[in-house]
Amino acid sequence: MTARLLLLLVALLPAVASAQAPKLHNYDIIIVGGGKTEAEAQAVLDRLKAKVLWVRLTTGSWDYPGVKKSDDYPGLNKGLYIAVLGLCSRGKESGSRHLLKAVKALEPGAYSKHIRGQYGNPCPPVGAFTPPDAEEKKHLDRIAKEPRSADAFYAYGLYLKEGGRLEEARIVTDEAVEIDPNHAEAKVLAQTLMVLLTD
């Protein structure tokens, strides 16, 4: 009886070990540039910040976009600093190809690499990098002229929400609330977006 129990335990050990091991996922890491120094990678990210509002609003708020060490990602060349826009899960629904194409139009040196790991899904929205239509351009121009206007950010957030670009709308609306914590409409929109994004 004891021998049978021991054999059963030995047979189950690999299954138990694999159940406890974290599952690795496939990603495309979107890199906009880099170099041997942190300053080189930061310069590329700063160029993109000047062109894309989403990058400007999100840099420093989360892990991505940001300057990282290549050593921290398996399969990348070691000893470099890289400006990482984000990591997109690979799969049938992955938008990383469209994202990379849109980013390359703004920063031709951008590229992606396939890596494995556990990074959640910090994939930037493609819409933030595609050329704006006439209506969106009006909003972006207004923000450029009035960078501290909660009304301008609120109006753009509402436009993005109505277009189904909820994640972008949340970031833009959060900026409106940060500029003016008493902006009633922006606060309502921020709460609405939080509900929509958690459903």
- The per-residue pLDDT for range 117-136, each reduced to its tens digit, is 888 888 999 999 999 999 99
Are 124 and 52 a contacting pair, CB within 8 Å? no
Tokens found for residue 28: 């495309």
| Confidence tier at 12 by pLDDT (50, 70, 90) | low
Q: Is the pLDDT of residue 6 over 60?
A: no
Per-residue pLDDT at 188:
96
Q: Is the pLDDT of residue 18 over 50?
A: no
Q: What percent of the chain has pLDDT over 90?
A: 72
Per-residue pLDDT at 132:
94
Per-residue pLDDT at 5:
46
Report cis status (omega within 30 of 0) of the bond before 65.
Answer: yes
Q: Is the pLDDT of residue 189 over 70?
A: yes
Q: Would you say the pTM of this structure is higher than 0.75? A: yes
What lies within 8 Å, CB to CB, of 78 at 6+ separation is 70, 71
Query: Taking residues 153-173, what's their average pLDDT?
Result: 96
Query: Taking residues 64-72, what's their average pLDDT?
Result: 94
Distance (Å) of CA 143 to CA 18, 24, 67, 86? 51, 41, 26, 25
Query: Taking residues 133-162, what's their average pLDDT?
Result: 96
Which residues make beta-bridge pairs with 115?
27
